[in-house]
């Protein structure tokens, strides 16, 4: 964990959400309740997740759902440095996204070889749940070669996913499994 955690980052996003309504403490729309009106102004909502450097020059992997529809993406390193990130690519079907930040020589993780992993092998999931500093959860590789039913129905044959029972808490999405 000491070796890996400097390469793990916090990913914060701002997303513009259409049609959010103000809610009263009673759970109903304030304007509807008193004026029979429904304001539909867009609002910025913050999202959070995790990611990790895959190269010293600032490339970061995270989950697609962490940065989907983001109008701004900020990456924060373990030493509290903040960077504006650019989305380089994304694949919604595999829930992966590639980000890039400028500057520096960043600590990074080398990708493991999934072929060498075995069912029952211990793994760690590292991330930033709920705006907290890094946390670590542990588990095992529960299965290999899993497919995703939704992808199969769309005609795609992704069938080499690794299944784990390590807890992936809210905000940990995008962090590494080591």
DSSP secondary structure letter of residue 55:
S
Check 64, 95, 147, 165 and give the catalytic one.
Answer: 95
Dig out the tokens for 162 from the structure.
């690794």
Helix (H, G, I), strand (E, B) or coil at 18: coil
Residue 79 among the catalytic residues: no
d(CA 18, CA 41): 7
d(CA 9, CA 175): 8
Helix (H) or strand (E) holding 151: helix 149-153
Check 12, 65, 105, 154 and give the catalytic one.
Answer: 65
Residue 173 among the catalytic residues: yes
**What's the burial of 128, exposed, middle or buried (CB within 10 Å: 0-12/13-18/19+)?**
buried
Residue 64 among the catalytic residues: no
- Report residue 32 CA to chain centroid gap: 35
d(CA 17, CA 38): 15
Residues carrying an active site annotation: 65, 95, 173
């Amino acid at each position: 964990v000491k070796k890996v955690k400097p390469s793990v980052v916090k990913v914060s996003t701002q997303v513009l959400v259409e049609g959010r309504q103000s809610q009263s403490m009673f759970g109903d729309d304030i304007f509807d309740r008193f004026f029979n009106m429904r304001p539909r102004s867009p609002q910025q909502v913050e999202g959070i997740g995790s990611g990790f450097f895959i190269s010293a020059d600032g490339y970061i992997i995270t989950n697609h759902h962490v940065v989907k529809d983001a109008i701004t993406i900020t990456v924060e390193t373990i030493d509290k440095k903040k960077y504006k990130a650019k989305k380089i690519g994304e694949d919604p079907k595999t829930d992966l996204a590639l980000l890039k930040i400028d500057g520096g020589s960043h600590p990074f993780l080398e990708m493991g070889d999934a072929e060498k992993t075995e069912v029952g092998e211990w793994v760690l999931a590292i991330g930033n749940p709920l705006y907290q500093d890094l946390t670590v959860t542990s588990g095992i590789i529960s299965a290999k070669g899993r497919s995703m039913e939704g992808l199969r129905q769309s005609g795609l044959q992704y069938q080499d996913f690794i299944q784990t029972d390590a807890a992936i808490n809210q905000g940990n999405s995008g962090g590494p499994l080591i």
